[in-house]
A and B are shown apart, each in its own frame.
Chain A
Amino acid sequence: MEKYLYIALFAPLVSSLFSSLFTAKPKKQFVGVIASLLIATSFVSSVILGFYILGGGEAIHVELMTWINTGGLYIPFGFVVDEISVTMMFVVTLVSMLVHIYSNGYMDHDPSFNRFFAWLSAFVFSMMVLVMSDNFAGLFIGWEGVGLCSWGLIGFWYYKESATWAANEAFIMNRIADLGMLIGLFLLYWNTGSLQYDVVFSKVALLDHSTLIWIGIFLFIGAMGKSAQFPLHTWLADAMEGPTPVSALIHAATMVTAGVYLVIRSNPLYDLVPEVGIFIASLGTFVAFFAASMALVNRDMKRIIAYSTLSQLGYMFAAAGLGAYWVALFHLMAHAFFKALLFLGAGNVMHAMHDELDPFKMGALKEKMKWTWIMMTVASFALAGVFPLAGFFSKDTILEAAFVDHHYVIYGVLLFTAALTAFYSFRLVALIFHGNDRYSQFGIHPHEAYNYMLWAMAPLFFFAIIAGIMQTPFFEMVEEALNAREYHIHSEAVKWIMLIGTQVLVIASIFYAYRKYNRNDITVPDGTSKTENRLCYKVLFNQYYIPYFYEEYLVKPYRELSGLFWKKFDLRVVDATVDGIAKILYNTGEETRGMQSGNLSVMLRWMVVGLVILLIFAGAVGLAVRYSDKILSFLSALGV
């Protein structure tokens, strides 16, 4: 089985290196094909491993080689395939494979086609390292690796100012979180003496509680960055500057879930600190609602989906925080399918609309793009959690978990958010595919995407529909690893009320959305309508003014302070002090050189002056002889 592990792990690396050979060359179609094939290999291996684990196989644990070994620190390149990682591997490789295939079409006309695949495969490799590593350091490698690839892919169109800005923002924000993660690692190391999962988790129970809390918090800070939790969330929406397949793969299905993965992976730790768990769940719930609220009014197709991702990540954290790790993981998986599908669909739309992103400028695309319409609609249903699609099973379980654990506030907010989710999802669908055609006034002639792109989306479509039936086998698989349990509401009646109530709420939202946006008189908003001038709308539209706040109160002061440090402090104070000392010395020389007037009389006088000084000093000392003791002690202090 180990060979499958290696294949799964290294096929993407090979793919990336292979593609990078051609980065400077014009487009080569075979690069895309070979890259897709290699990722497919990886996927197949992952599936094989998946079945092996699913079939009750022992976790596979390999150690490739030593990485860092110094002092008490020993970090190998170790990889483990267990229930958690194999789930992630399956999700990652599946989505990656499909996105690779899809990208062959999507990036068709891009001059940097080859480079795209190099980055994309590199991302897959990093992600695989992240999920397969058997220690925190390896996780961190992947963690940073996906950050790097995300940087490269967001800024893929580097000539766009906004893209490079977003790339840097993503990288730097992630770095802030990474610092937290690093501190978490340090804490773990100095308290347990190792960074290996098994060693660490076997010892966490021995640590005192406050240490554990700190570890939990710092690790979660790391997770917050990668999973774009408040207040580090702004990068995710901006990251939509990247090519859409990237958004599908990285910013929906895989990388952003790394934070959730970390929390799930560290479940033995978080089990010990329920306080932190509550905090995580609360933050997740907050973000779920917070992001959904921003999605309500947004006018950028990709950003809406991004906010929805954010919101769903909130759900996952809520679940993980409440100890329902398996639920979180399951939602993670389900979400990956329908969200990737949604993004790829959006990609199709963008292709058709010549990169137009404002859904208000679209409308009535269902005629032109039938399959895309179907798939996006289904994905939206799944996202909204409509029975019997994937989202229903995963999301509903989260709600159940919150309810069962008596976290009614969380439950309530999440429930409300579910309604919001349904609303914004179908607002989007309605605006894009229904109503009047508003695009023709912009001179756009949309067309359906290539067939193979649609075929690439098909498996996701498939999983988005049927993922629900995987719930039971999945539960069985991770039962032991994640200490999973079923959530059973005591009373059958309550259970049904909840189920049906939720469904009704969701469907009501969907209808409301349709009614509101499936109209023929929808125009492109121009900032004059009443709604748009409402405070509430403005706050939401400007993302609660958080980016503005960051720009005004963090970025600008940082820039100004930097300039100040350089121009005013480094040059005017520190350097000037050094130069000043030199200048004082030089000027002293310059001022006193007049002593050497060249006049013999003056020179003779100086000699006499010297003599007189000696004599005066002699006289003074002669008088002071009786105080000689004190003088002696003073001079001895000088080292005489």
Chain B
Amino acid sequence: MIQPVNISMDVLNLTTLAPMLVAVVGALFILVIDLFKSNLDKSLYVMISILFLFVDLIAVYESSLTFMQNGTVIGLFDVMQIDGLAIVSQFIIVIASMLFIPLAMTSKRFHEYSYPEYFALFLFMIAGFQFMVATDNLILIFVGLETASLSLYTMIAMHNRAKSFEAAVKYFTMGALAAGFYSFGAMVFYAITGSVEINQIAAVLDANSYKNLGYVFVAVAFLLASFAFKLSLVPFHTWAPDVYEGSSAALAGYMSIVPKIAAFIVTMRLFEFLVHSDIVWLKAILYAFVIITMTISNLWALVQSDVKRMLAYSSISHAGFAMAAVLIGTTEANTALLLYWVMFTFTNLGSFSMLWISRQKNLLPGQSSDHSYEKFAGMIKTAPIPAVIMGLFMLTLAGVPPFALFWGKLYMINAAVISGYTFLAFIMAINSAIAGYYYLKLIVYMFMKEPVDSRYEKVYTKNLSLTLKTVIGFAAVGTIFAVFAINPLLNLIGGFVYNSGF
């Protein structure tokens, strides 16, 4: 007979759901407002989103306090798992979102911002990512991932021009394939462990001492393929440049940060025990992934003629760089990954915002893409301050100290060094050097060349508004003074990561 379900609310730990719920409620709230009064200005929605995200942030903060007291909180039938990784990554997700949403407040009007639904989708997406990182249940991960992805596809397409449709379709189709991979991988794990929870999978595999090695291989291969798609590791990266180019710069920047950190968290959860299980195959595979991704995407970035595509390839390379942390798998490495990503958030926020403010509606004469290098030629002469700021972000991306990303790189390489991955550290260093070229190329165009066409000089700040200025200023300050934030961040992240057992 069916027993009545009788569970006390305390055990459920409903607070674990709070942050995501806030986001969902915010999205619904926006939809409801639209029901009552349409044609409201985008600024309203932006601010509402930020407000809800702020509440979301507070909720995350609350859960972080709980974590600091009680350790990992498990809620809602063990589905929600709020550990340090979840908290840190939620911080990153929410804060990054708060910083990226205001980019909607351009002085020019773009199609997607005329929809309140856009902001609703944005919040749904955030909720999806938050679910992804706050659980170790493969089902919830899958559902959260799809929620976020579907929102993202739609938002890309809402930019409403041929390239953005193309981008959305490509992303969508490949995402569907990746979803297939994911589910197949999950199925195989389920077959050998009878569970879809990562902890359980690990426990069972351990207890069986990996007897079903072939099955594990298949499962890992499929899951890795699907996450490699999300993380844009070569050769699963092919969507990234096209999608970045097709979507608005604001969204492209967002895509380079938030979905990836969510995917990284899941990857870390999934591979942490596998990496430590002495499966040589997995290590070798990850090693190859990391090195190939870092290197070859760098080489592709070298030959780009469009800044946004270049940044897309550079993001791929950075993802490869961060992926090294998963390979290394130590606490230091995981901490380094998160630190790297925090730094990367600020830097990419800045650089994509700079692209965003220079976005023009129609292509300039003689240009084949939105942000070709030539467009920036001689920028120092016509728009010195934006040029300096853009240069700053490029230097940061290249890892020139003392700017933000340098510290990320430092810790990442250090993590490799202390775990004995000398060769990897060496490759990382070499790749950073190669990467210097294409970032420098933009600086060269901006600072050392003469403007090609006097018409260009107006475009650099065409899209600028006070809000965007603020965001860019925030990013710039963040990158310049990152050095002072490293120590607290390091302690914080390190503590969270260590106490979650990673």
Number of residues of chain B lying within 8 A (CB) of chain A: 44
Pairs across A and B, CB under 8 Å, 29 listed: A586-B299, A589-B298, A589-B299, A589-B300, A589-B301, A592-B300, A593-B300, A595-B238, A598-B242, A600-B173, A600-B174, A603-B238, A606-B235, A607-B225, A607-B235, A610-B228, A610-B235, A614-B224, A615-B218, A617-B285, A618-B220, A621-B217, A622-B213, A622-B214, A622-B217, A631-B280, A635-B280, A638-B287, A639-B422
Residues of chain B lying within 8 A (CB to CB) of residue A560: none
Q: Cβ of A610 and Cβ of B236 under 8 Å apart? A: yes
Q: Which 4 A-B pairs rank lowest in CB-CB distance, beginning with the nearest?
A: A589-B299, A618-B217, A621-B281, A614-B221
Residues of chain B lying within 8 A (CB to CB) of residue A619: 217
CA distance A316 to B235 in the complex (A): 85
Shortest beta-carbon distance from B233 to chain A in Å: 8
Shortest beta-carbon distance from B279 to chain A in Å: 9
Residues of chain A lying within 8 A (CB to CB) of residue B239: 603
CA distance A586 to B285 in the complex (A): 26
Q: Cβ of A603 and Cβ of B221 under 8 Å apart? A: no
Q: Which residues A472-527 have CB closer than 8 A to chain B?
A: none
Instruction: Kindly count the residue-residue contacts between A and B in the assembled complex, taking CB atoms under 8 Å apart.
Output: 106
Q: Cβ of B229 and Cβ of A607 under 8 Å apart? A: yes
Residues of chain A lying within 8 A (CB to CB) of residue B300: 589, 592-593, 596
| Chain B CB within 8 A of A632 CB | yes
Q: Which residues A573-593 have CB closer than 8 A to chain B?
A: 582, 585-586, 588-590, 592-593
| Chain B CB within 8 A of A562 CB | no
| Chain A CB within 8 A of B473 CB | no
Label chain A's interface by main secondary structure: helix
Q: Which residues A610-640 have CB closer than 8 A to chain B?
A: 610-611, 614-615, 617-619, 621-622, 625, 628, 631-632, 635, 638-640
| Chain A CB within 8 A of B61 CB | no
Q: Cβ of A618 and Cβ of B170 under 8 Å apart? A: no
Task: Name the contact of A625 in the complex, choosing from B170, B174, B213 (C-beta under 8 A).
Answer: B213
Known: A610-B235, A622-B213. A615 touches B421 (CB 8 A): no
Q: Cβ of B225 and Cβ of A611 under 8 Å apart? A: yes
Shortest beta-carbon distance from A597 to chain B in Å: 9
| Chain A CB within 8 A of B181 CB | yes
A interface residues (Cβ-Cβ under 8 A, vs B)? 582, 585-586, 588-590, 592-593, 595-596, 598, 600, 602-604, 606-611, 614-615, 617-619, 621-622, 625, 628, 631-632, 635, 638-640
Q: Return the CB mask of B401-426 against A: 1 if under 8 Å, else 0.
A: 00000000000000000001111100
Residues of chain B lying within 8 A (CB to CB) of residue A640: 280, 283-284, 287, 421
Q: Cβ of B173 and Cβ of A604 under 8 Å apart? A: yes
CA distance A615 to B213 in the complex (A): 13
Q: Cβ of A635 and Cβ of B299 under 8 Å apart? A: no
Q: Return the CB mask of B266-298 against A: 1 if under 8 Å, else 0.
A: 000000000000001101110100000000101
Q: Cβ of B218 and Cβ of A596 under 8 Å apart? A: no
Residues of chain A lying within 8 A (CB to CB) of residue B9: none
A589-B301, A618-B217 given; 5 more Cβ-contact pairs under 8 Å: A592-B296, A592-B300, A603-B174, A607-B236, A614-B285
CA distance A618 to B238 in the complex (A): 23
CA distance A607 to B221 in the complex (A): 12
Known: A595-B238, A603-B170, A618-B218. A611 touches B181 (CB 8 A): yes
Q: Which residues B204-237 have CB closer than 8 A to chain A?
A: 213-214, 217-218, 220-222, 224-225, 228-229, 235-236
Q: Cβ of B280 and Cβ of A632 under 8 Å apart? A: yes
Q: Which residues B287-331 have CB closer than 8 A to chain A?
A: 287, 296, 298-303
Shortest beta-carbon distance from A132 to chain B in Å: 56
Known: A596-B238, A603-B238. A618 touches B177 (CB 8 A): no
Shortest beta-carbon distance from B229 to chain A in Å: 7
CA distance A590 to B281 in the complex (A): 31
Q: Which residue of B lies closest to A613 (CB)?
A: B235
Known: A600-B173, A635-B283. A590 touches B303 (CB 8 A): yes
CA distance A46 to B144 in the complex (A): 103
Residues of chain B lying within 8 A (CB to CB) of residue A614: 221, 224-225, 285
Shortest beta-carbon distance from A606 to chain B in Å: 5
Q: Cβ of B235 and Cβ of A639 under 8 Å apart? A: no
Q: Cβ of A639 and Cβ of B424 under 8 Å apart? A: yes
CA distance A596 to B299 in the complex (A): 13
Q: Cβ of A600 and Cβ of B169 under 8 Å apart? A: yes
| Chain A CB within 8 A of B178 CB | yes
